[in-house]
Structure formats: structure tokens, C-alpha cells
Amino acid sequence: MPHSVSAKKRIRQNVKHRARNRAAKTAVRTQVKKLLATLEGGSPEDKQREFRAATRAVDKAVTRGILHKNAAARQKSRLTAKLKKAATPAPQA
């Protein structure tokens, strides 16, 4: 248990920050899952809309310091590749 006033305050702050960060991370994951579901079956407009929403959520998480910028870039790159793959028609056999 903390003894000093500043240590007690730091614990209170950590609890708030952790809750805020977890909520933001969950929101990013939810947005990415919505995009992946839309890529499975949806109109091209829906795919673009969900892609923009997902990349915006990832960028906001970076701005708030919740995700590392390289991790966000990697995630956005993978989502872009999946979007492009879903946009191209399947080859005819």
C-alpha cells in the first residue's frame, strides 16, 4: 500500500487512465472487426466507409498515446491489403 500522498494520487490516476485506455483499445478492435465483417460481404461503398472509420479510430488511438505509431501503421497496412484483396474479383478457373 502506498504511504505518501503523491503515491496514493498516482494510484487513483492509474486506475482512471487504465479504464480510459482499455475503452479506447476496445473501440479500435470493434471498429476493425466491423470492417472485417463488411469485407466478407458488403457493398464497395460500405467497405470504404468502414475502412475510413477503422483507420480513423487507429489514428486517434495513436494521437492519444494508446497505440504505438508503428503498430498502428502495420495494422492500417494490413487492413489496406485486405480491402484491396476484397475489391479485386476472384480469378475464374
For the stretch 67-89, pLDDT in tens is 999 999 999 999 999 999 988 87
What is the CA 13 to chain-centroid distance, rounded? Answer: 24
What is the domain extent for residue 31?
Answer: 5-85
Q: Contact, 82 vs 38, CB < 8 A?
A: no
C-alpha cell at 48: 470504404
93 domain-assigned: no
pLDDT at 33 over 80: yes
The dihedrals phi and psi of 19, each to the nearest 5 degrees, come to -65, -45
80 domain-assigned: yes
CATH number at residue 55: 1.20.58.110
pTM here?
Answer: 0.83
How many structural domains comprise the chain? 1
Looking at residue 8, its amino acid is: K
Q: Contact, 88 vs 81, CB < 8 A?
A: no
45 domain-assigned: yes
